[in-house]
């Protein structure tokens, strides 16, 4: 099938590369010439395990091309996937300017039936706005009778596992309407996703608005589980309970399960923060209040400060002249994404209290330097040392603070950590280690919700 992907960001690039891997002829469009040049020269603008190999293989096979030519992109595919960014607006709502710009471009250049697929995460009702934008351009051309359909096909990709998620999906949500154009679109989408349904049916068919809602509802539920456990972890520290034991205890209930029940330093990234805000904004437009989601967001904002609070509780309010080692900068492992990362909150607080920091992340160092230059003044940024290895951060530091649960951090040389730190103190924002083991090694350990085992 001939497919056009509009936008070569995280969702668009993964979607385009994986659809090409299935044998489709994919044209990826982006307005950023530098990004297109990078892709055409064999580079990848994001870190995602396995993606570089898939892109290279399909470019070499001629199934995947990258361009800034809008007219050529519309001419190429009967299927037009809109996978552009929907950043949060000032009021928390999703900014649809790029989605609607893509829709208008399709309407300006299309010469026959198109299936326009909203792949971007968009609020309920966006398909109607996309259809209106296309129709307006067609009428301006005197082509108002030209047929098209708008389909909702939200993505459910986890950063760090996106290629695997796309190629082996647990579900494929598709929303269509029951007009003749919509029923024709359903047949096209069935053909597109047929390779995924050979063992069992993975497609969930529904109306367009329900499909749009499903994406937000899924992310809101996952964010709620995270904030719920973080709030319980903070209480566990006060009452003398071990949140890890609690997690196992409640996760064994099949109605609850174990996923997304890990206490930590708060969620970040491109999806959960903006999607929770956007769903709250949608509710307000309909005079509804989503009280649970408002609390989820407030708990998460507070949880991002938990590591800074633990540092202050141990070393005092004034950290002038002190140095701290920080392991992990990306909001989660296997990505270089620094959007809404808890590390940014921690570093800002430590530096504003007078400390300096030495930091390491396996893949996010370059992106971290870029975003921290936005968070900090030049003088403050000068107190951030980016180190080539985790152990290089330790020399002369008061303590080690772990922010991201990279696998490379799970089995360190604890004797070397003790020897290189000024004090044998680990503040663990992801509960990577067992407190009794740390105590046995002579390390003062501060986890999240695990004070019953350390007496802290």
- Which residue, of 142, 172, 206, is where some domain finishes? 206
Same domain, 365 and 275: yes
- Which residue, of 140, 172, 206, is where some domain finishes? 206
pLDDT for 90 beyond 80: no
Same domain, 417 and 338: yes
Same domain, 202 and 228: no
Among residues 54, 82, 174, 271, the one annotated as catalytic is 271
Same domain, 448 and 422: yes
Residue 212 in domain: no
Same domain, 281 and 360: yes
pLDDT for 455 beyond 60: no
Q: What is the mean pLDDT of residues 28-57?
A: 96
Residue 214 in domain: no
Q: Is the pTM of this model over 0.85?
A: yes
Number of domains in the chain: 2
Band (pLDDT 50/70/90 cuts) for residue 130 is very high
Same domain, 331 and 418: yes
Phi, psi of 150 (to 5 degrees): -110, 125
CATH number at residue 250: 3.40.50.720
pLDDT computed for residue 270 by the predictor: 83
Same domain, 164 and 260: no
Same domain, 44 and 184: yes
- Which residue, of 175, 206, 237, is where some domain finishes? 206
Q: What is the mean pLDDT of residues 122-138?
A: 96
Active site residue 271: yes
Same domain, 191 and 231: no
Residue 211 in domain: no
Which residues span the domain enclosing 93? 2-206
């Amino acid at each position: 099938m001939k497919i056009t992907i509009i936008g070569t960001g995280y969702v668009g690039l993964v979607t385009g590369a994986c659809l090409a891997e299935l044998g489709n002829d994919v044209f990826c469009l982006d307005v950023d010439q530098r990004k297109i040049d990078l892709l055409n020269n064999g580079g990848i603008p994001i870190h995602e395990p396995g993606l570089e190999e898939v892109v290279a293989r399909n470019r070499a096979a001629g199934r995947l091309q990258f361009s800034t030519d809008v007219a050529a992109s519309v001419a190429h595919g009967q299927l037009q996937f809109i996978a552009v960014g929907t950043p949060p607006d000032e009021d928390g709502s999703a900014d649809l300017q790029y989605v609607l710009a893509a829709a208008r471009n399709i309407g300006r250049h299309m010469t026959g039936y198109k299936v326009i697929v909203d792949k971007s995460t968009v609020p309920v009702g966006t398909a109607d706005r996309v259809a209106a934008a296309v129709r307006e351009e067609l009428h301006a051309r005197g082509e108002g009778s030209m047929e098209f359909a708008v389909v909702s096909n939200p993505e459910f990709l986890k950063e760090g596992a996106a290629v695997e998620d796309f190629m082996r999906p647990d579900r494929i949500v598709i929303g269509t309407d029951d007009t003749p154009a919509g029923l024709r679109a359903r047949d096209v989408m069935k053909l597109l996703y047929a390779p995924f349904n050979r063992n069992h049916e993975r497609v969930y068919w529904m109306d367009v608005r329900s499909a749009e809602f499903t994406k937000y509802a899924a992310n809101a539920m996952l964010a709620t589980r995270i904030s719920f456990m973080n709030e319980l972890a903070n209480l566990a520290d006060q009452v003398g309970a071990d949140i890890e034991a609690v997690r196992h205890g409640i996760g064994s209930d099949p109605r609850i399960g174990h996923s997304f029940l890990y206490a930590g330093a708060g969620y970040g990234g491109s999806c959960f923060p903006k999607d929770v805000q956007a769903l709250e904004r949608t509710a307000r437009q309909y005079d509804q209040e989503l009280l649970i989601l408002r609390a989820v967001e407030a708990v998460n904002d507070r949880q991002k400060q938990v590591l800074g609070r633990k540092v202050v509780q141990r070393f005092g309010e004034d950290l002038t002249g002190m140095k701290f080692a920080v392991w992990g900068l990306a909001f989660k492992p296997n990505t270089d994404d620094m959007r809404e990362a808890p590390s940014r909150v921690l570093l800002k607080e430590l530096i504003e209290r007078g400390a300096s920091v030495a930091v390491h992340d396996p893949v996010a160092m370059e992106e971290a330097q870029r975003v921290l230059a936005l968070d900090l003044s030049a003088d403050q940024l000068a107190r951030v040392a980016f180190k080539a290895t985790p152990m290089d951060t330790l020399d002369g530091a008061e303590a080690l603070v772990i922010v991201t649960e990279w696998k490379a951090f799970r089995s360190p040389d604890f004797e070397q950590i003790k020897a290189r730190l000024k004090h044998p103190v680990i503040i663990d924002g992801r509960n990577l280690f067992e407190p009794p083991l740390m105590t046995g090694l002579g390390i003062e350990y501060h986890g999240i919700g695990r004070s019953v085992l350390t007496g802290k």
